[in-house]
A = this chain, B = another copy of it.
Amino acid sequence: MTDPEENAPVSRLLAASEIGIVAPRDFVCTRPFTFKSGQVLPGFTLRYETYGELNATRDNAILICHALSGDHHCAGVHAADDRKPGWWNNLIGPGKAVDTNRFFVVCANVLGGCVGSSGPSSVNPETGRPYGIHFPFVTILDMVRAQKLLLDHLGVSTLHGIIGGSMGGMQALLFAIEFPAFTRRVLAMATTSRESAQAIAFNEVGRQAIMQDPDWNQGDYAKGGGPRVGLAIARMMAHITYVSDASMDRKFGRRKKNPASGESYTFDIQFEVESYLRHQGQAFINRFDANSYLYITRALDQFDLAQAYGSLETAFAPVQAESLVVGFTSDWLFPPEQNRQIALALLRAGKRASYAELATDLGHDSFLLESEELYALIRGFLERNQATAVDFSI
């Protein structure tokens, strides 16, 4: 997913309608964790944030699951002069669609990530060096199981809801499958039950850009070092898939960076879109670990509910949650059809499920959109009484 803009006035981010200053915490699990691959870690850490308060019945928690390049910091700011709020700050806060006056919101950096949670950039106690590609192989199922342990640790008895876009949507669906009695509502947006060949192909090009960079060195590099060129290339390319042709054309079109200079015959930056992409690549390498990028894109590629459970309907058989699946018309990475198929399979499996398709032109990242329509949809889904819920038809 794309990064949030760094343009919010500080005063606004500290207003009463905002969460304000938040601090991440670490959940250190000291029991052995067995990955789907069979590999075992003696323990793991998840870095997470919470907003709002857990109620007395411990059943008002909402778990937010992040996408490939996201992290646990989804709302609020980390300091009074922090101009960049969490990545879903528009959605989460006092009185917002995910209302922290009502709900206890939890968001953790995924297992395999690089923003405080255990992942390939964590130090292997046996060697004193980062695990690199000796970190256990991570799947969406491993991410979900680790988050369940965090919720147990926080004392959550049942999840009021679980929400995610893109890879976050995969986690939300799998959570409802694996922990059916624990999960009351699933909101999965701009997601898929399995990636298409094209999505795998884009991930593979990104991985090749990283692994062919001599600084990758078979994944063995010091923290903060590594294949910065390859990772920037991977990010620039992936960024194109997160937006749409229409949104790029509206934002940049063919505008030149220095229009006054006339025709310029050079391979340096000429178009604004080039400058923007290079900035995206450079910003990313300062905050993301290349090995984590390999691990998480592989987790995305391997996610295939139908293959894992026999069929999509069989996969959804245990689900007890009510589900809302949201597709966006301009999303060409995980197109609306792939989202609609999830909702249809849930319905075929006899579950309470709805599908909504929003007309946007922002592409895959439309789930991050500032949209009153989307807010109303989410608020309605989270706040309506389940007992009297009316199922949508597709």
Contact = CB atoms under 8 A, between A and B. Distances in A.
Given A137-B265, A307-B254, A212 B198 contact: no
A349 interface: no
A207 interface: yes
A155 B294 CA distance: 57
Contacts of A58: none
Is chain A's interface secondary structure helix, strand, loop, or mixed overall? helix
B214 A233 contact: no
Interface string A301-333: 110100100000000000000000000000010
Interface stretch (A64-72, A76-84, A243-251): A243-251
B304 A200 contact: no
Contact of A205 (B200, B207, B277, B307): B277
A345 interface: no
Given A198-B240, A240-B201, A249-B197, A37 B265 contact: yes
Contacts of A271: 197, 200, 204, 301
Contacts of A233: 205, 208-209, 212, 233
Contacts of A379: none
A377 to B, nearest CB: 26
B198 A249 contact: yes
A254 B195 contact: yes
Contacts of A204: 236, 271, 273-274, 277-278
Interface string A4-17: 00000000000000
A267 interface: yes
B301 A200 contact: no
A246 to B, nearest CB: 9
| Copies assembled | 2
Most buried by B among A137, A214, A237, A294: A237
A277 B194 contact: no
A22 interface: no
Contacts of A202: 237, 240
Contacts of A205: 233, 236-237, 240, 277
A96 interface: no
Given A214-B214, A240-B201, A207 B267 contact: yes
Interface string A207-244: 11101111000000000000001001100110010001
Interface string A184-204: 000000000011111011101
A301 B270 contact: yes
A72 B295 CA distance: 43
A252 interface: yes
Nearest to A244: B198
**Considering the complex of A and B, which 3 residue pairs feature the smallest CB-CB distances, nearest first?**
A137-B265, A197-B248, A198-B245
30 contacts: A37-B263, A133-B267, A194-B254, A195-B254, A196-B248, A197-B248, A197-B251, A197-B252, A197-B254, A198-B249, A200-B273, A201-B240, A201-B273, A202-B237, A204-B236, A204-B271, A204-B274, A204-B277, A205-B236, A205-B277, A208-B232, A208-B233, A208-B236, A208-B278, A213-B229, A233-B233, A254-B304, A254-B307, A267-B294, A271-B301
